[in-house]
Amino acid sequence: MKKGVKIGIAVAIVAALGGAAFVAKQRGQNKPTTVKIEAVEARDLVASVTASGQVRPRTKVDVSADITGRIITLSVKEGDLVTKGQFLLQIDPQQFEAALQRSLAALASAKAQFAQARANSIQAQRNYDRSAEIKKATPTLFSDEQLEQLRTQVEVNQALSDAAKFSVEQSQAAVRDARFALSRTTILAPMSGRITRLNVENGETAIQGTLNKDAATLLTIADLSILETKIKVDETDVSRIKLGDSAVVQIDAFPDTTFMGRVVRIANSSVKAAAAAGSTDQAVDYEVVVQLMNAPSETRPDFSATAKVITDVRPRVLSIPIIALTSREDSALATGDTAQAQTGRKAPAKQIGKRDIEGVFVVNAGNTVSFRPVRVGIAGDRYFEVLGGLKAGDRIVSGTYQAIRELKDGGTVKEEIIDPTKGKKEKKA
């Protein structure tokens, strides 16, 4: 065989193989993508914000001592119900009783000194008055110097009387202070409620509350008739919550029951969470208080809870699955063509380049898909509200996430159908 013929045959074989590879590639590119398809229809949508927190009583009091001393009587235990003014515990009063007795003795002494000083002042005044009358009748019996000395004695004794009077008032104040300190040895309930925490035992030493609040807390009384859940809401969601919004609360201790609540307080300042390791960014949260409306009597403080705050309700609005919404690069911003007309948005006059726009893939006749920009409103648990770009009955690609991510405008799809009787997936061309 001639060399030229061999070369021709080789070229033909290579061309045939290349053509076959091209055809196979084209067939692979045109292979339909298996997707889930769903019709655009009206649904009731509920927008919500979900956050976790703990159950707290609206009113609670940490009881601490105003004095330091040993507890000699403890009449309550954790879990007891108490009423306002009820006796709780007694701190050893001996030291304070002795202080009161000393104050009373000092007061008695001060009163005696005041009586003596007052009597001396009255006597000095009388001596002066008599001498002044005698000098007036018989000037030669008393000199002016003698009369001046008597006048000075009156002033000195009056000053001593005033000082003794002030000493009595000071002793009276010391007695009141000693009585108050003695009364602090008896601790009564400041409010009605349940003792939810008892930190001391009989015989322990109570520490003055101003020294160390945590260590000085003897017990906690809480009014469990009104319970609240304090949740931390991210800054991106807190603006959607309003006072009075209803909420559904799930308490971990009652996994099969939900409870109703309403928002009663929204913090004006943030609670900054600790930054993640190696990151300078901090999550900014706001505390939102949800009052429980029907909590069972078994609910205890510090129970973990999750609150779902209802922020908006839209009955019977067009909706699409959240997973169906995707984004694609928009190359028409510079010219302001159909993409902006469909979304109702206008491109900025000086916009140059491309950006991503949100939309869905609409299934057309022949099972081809086209990307259509969509405007969405509130988000429910599984669906977005449709504000523009679609109409009722439009068939759109609703899954899977991987399929939607890889779809392109003009692509071909197969519908994935689940047979409820067999539990198997079927594909419809």
pLDDT of residue 134: 83
Domain ranges of the chain: 33-45+317-428, 93-184, 219-274+281-310
pLDDT band at 353 (very low <50, low <70, confident <90, very high): very low
pLDDT of residue 132: 84
Q: Is the preceding omega at residue 400 within 30 degrees of 0, hence cis?
A: yes
Contact present, 404 and 336 (Cβ < 8 Å):
no
Listed range (110-119, 228-237, 345-354, 370-379) with the worst mean pLDDT: 345-354
CA within 13 Å, CB half, 165: 9
CA within 13 Å, CB half, 312: 14
Determine the 3-state secondary structure of 401 from DSSP.
helix
- As a whole number of angstroms, the distance between CA 162 and CA 170 comes to 12
- Closest residue by Cα to residue 105 from 164, 178, 47, 166: 178
Q: Say yes or no: do domains 33-45+317-428 and 219-274+281-310 share a fold.
A: no
Q: Which residues, in sequence order, are CB contacts of 266 under 8 Å at separation 6+?
A: 238, 241, 242, 243, 286, 288, 289
- Structure confidence by residue, pLDDT tens digits, 323-337: 999 998 875 443 344
Q: Alpha helix locations (H) across 229-305?
A: 235-238
- Structure confidence by residue, pLDDT tens digits, 361-414: 999 988 899 999 999 999 988 999 999 999 999 999 998 888 888 898 889 998
pLDDT band at 426 (very low <50, low <70, confident <90, very high): low
pTM above 0.85, yes or no: no
Does residue 276 carry a pLDDT above 70? Answer: no
Contact present, 215 and 98 (Cβ < 8 Å):
no
Q: Tell me the CATH class for 33-45+317-428.
A: mainly beta
Average pLDDT in the chain? 83
- Structure confidence by residue, pLDDT tens digits, 7-34: 555 545 545 555 544 444 444 456 888 8
- DSSP, residue by residue, 112-179: HHHHHHHHHHHHHHHHHHHHHHHHHH-TTTS-HHHHHHHHHHHHHHHHHHHHHHHHHHHHHHHHHHHH
When the candidates are 2.40.30.170, 2.40.50.140, 1.20.1250.20, 3.90.1150.10, the CATH number that belongs to 219-274+281-310 is: 2.40.30.170
User: Within a 10 A sphere around the Cβ of 41, how many other Cβ atoms?
Assistant: 13
